[in-house]
């Protein structure tokens, strides 16, 4: 059990996010402090019953955090935590899965719109003080989304929301997930990942919103890119490792696909010498799809719910990992 509300101490550990300020605005009366750097975090970890953390965590803190009973991850991923060691200490762990589903889905939709409406090119032209004239070549004009086909690879929280947004624009939506029986959300049909190659030739957009797991690592390789239309676009709002970068660069340089919008790369950021930086048919955002002004509030909503569950003695937490 965690201490009662009037005895509980929470540590918010993050280099940038305003987690404590957002939590304080809830007026819970719970005592808390924040750590902005690793040294301070290590010095004060022993004071906390609950730690809210993501990238600043390392498993050497487990023996130092002698009062620790619960960790609320700030992010969806929990690979950095030694689950066995936490379980051995009786420390519970919950992820923030779904915390940025709306944000990433909206970002992916924005990337699709940016490609269709040639917004990166317009911004570049603005910087050059160039007012582009009318274009006779149909292939070089802005396009409309209605009637276009988007393949959404990963139809979970993010992909499911993206399917709803895409349908609102009149797009044909084909979804892919490891378990099609889990449901199509707003997609017109849903299929297994193994069926993806059969649908790639029909796609105007291929949007990745899947987790990086063995089945999706390198999923978009030279073979997959070779199946896409020359007029098709790739949108990656998943993880950089889902795409073989060298194969993508080759396909873009050769004009085998029309372009790509990438919120994630592998590595992040791309190497300074990566051609992706300067390719006119590539639009890069710096893994900001999930970052919004509501992020801290969304995480704190999960945190407060899990605290209430523990005070009630419930066995299962929201997004429980350990």
List active site positions.
239, 268, 287
Are the CB atoms for 317 and 310 separated by under 8 Å?
yes
Report which DSSP code applies to 230.
T
- The gap from C-alpha 151 to its chain's centroid, in whole angstroms, comes to 17
CA distances from 12 to 9, 62, 111, 156 (A): 10, 16, 32, 28
Residue 79, Ramachandran bin (φ over 0: left; ψ between -120 and 50: alpha; else beta): alpha
| Helix H or strand E segment including 260 | strand 259-262
In the numeric block, the tokens 């317009």 are attached to 122
- Rounded CA gap, 42 and 58, in Å? 10
Residues in the chain: 322
Are the CB atoms for 6 and 46 separated by under 8 Å?
no
Are the CB atoms for 162 and 177 separated by under 8 Å?
no
Taking Cα atoms as reference points, which of 156, 157, 97, 78 lies closest to residue 322? 78
- At 26 the three-state DSSP class reads coil
φ, ψ of residue 60 in degrees (nearest 5) = -65, -15
- Rounded CA gap, 19 and 12, in Å? 6
- Rounded CA gap, 293 and 244, in Å? 32
């Amino acid at each position: 059990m965690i201490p009662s509300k009037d005895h509980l101490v929470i540590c918010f550990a993050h280099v940038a996010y305003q987690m404590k300020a957002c939590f304080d605005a809830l007026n819970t009366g719970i005592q808390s402090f924040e750590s902005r750097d690793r040294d301070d975090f290590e010095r004060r970890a022993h004071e906390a019953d609950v730690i809210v953390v993501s990238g600043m965590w390392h498993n050497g803190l487990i023996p130092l955090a002698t009062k620790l009973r619960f960790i609320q991850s700030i992010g969806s991923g929990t690979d950095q935590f030694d689950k066995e060691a936490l379980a051995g200490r009786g420390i519970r762990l919950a992820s923030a899965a779904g915390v940025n589903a709306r944000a990433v889905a909206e970002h992916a939709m924005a990337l699709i719109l940016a490609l269709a409406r040639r917004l990166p090119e317009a911004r570049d032209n603005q910087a050059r003080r160039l007012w582009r004239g009318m274009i006779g070549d149909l292939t070089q004009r802005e396009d409309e989304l209605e009637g276009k086909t988007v393949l959404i690879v990963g139809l979970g929280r993010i992909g499911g929301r993206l399917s709803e947004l895409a349908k609102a624009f009149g797009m044909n939506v084909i979804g892919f997930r490891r378990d099609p029986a889990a449901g199509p959300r707003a997609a017109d049909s849903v299929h297994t990942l193994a069926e993806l190659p059969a649908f790639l030739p029909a796609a105007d957009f291929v949007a990745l919103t899947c987790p990086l797991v063995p089945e999706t690592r390198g999923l978009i390789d030279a073979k997959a890119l070779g199946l896409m239309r020359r007029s098709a676009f790739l949108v990656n709002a998943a993880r950089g490792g889902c795409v073989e970068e060298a194969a993508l660069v080759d396909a873009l340089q050769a004009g085998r696909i029309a372009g790509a919008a990438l919120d994630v790369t592998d590595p992040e950021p791309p190497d300074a010498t990566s051609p992706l930086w300067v390719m006119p048919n590539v639009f890069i955002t710096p893994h900001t799809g999930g970052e919004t002004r509501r992020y801290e509030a969304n995480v704190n909503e999960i945190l407060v719910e899990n605290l209430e569950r523990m005070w009630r003695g419930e066995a299962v937490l929201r997004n429980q990992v350990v």
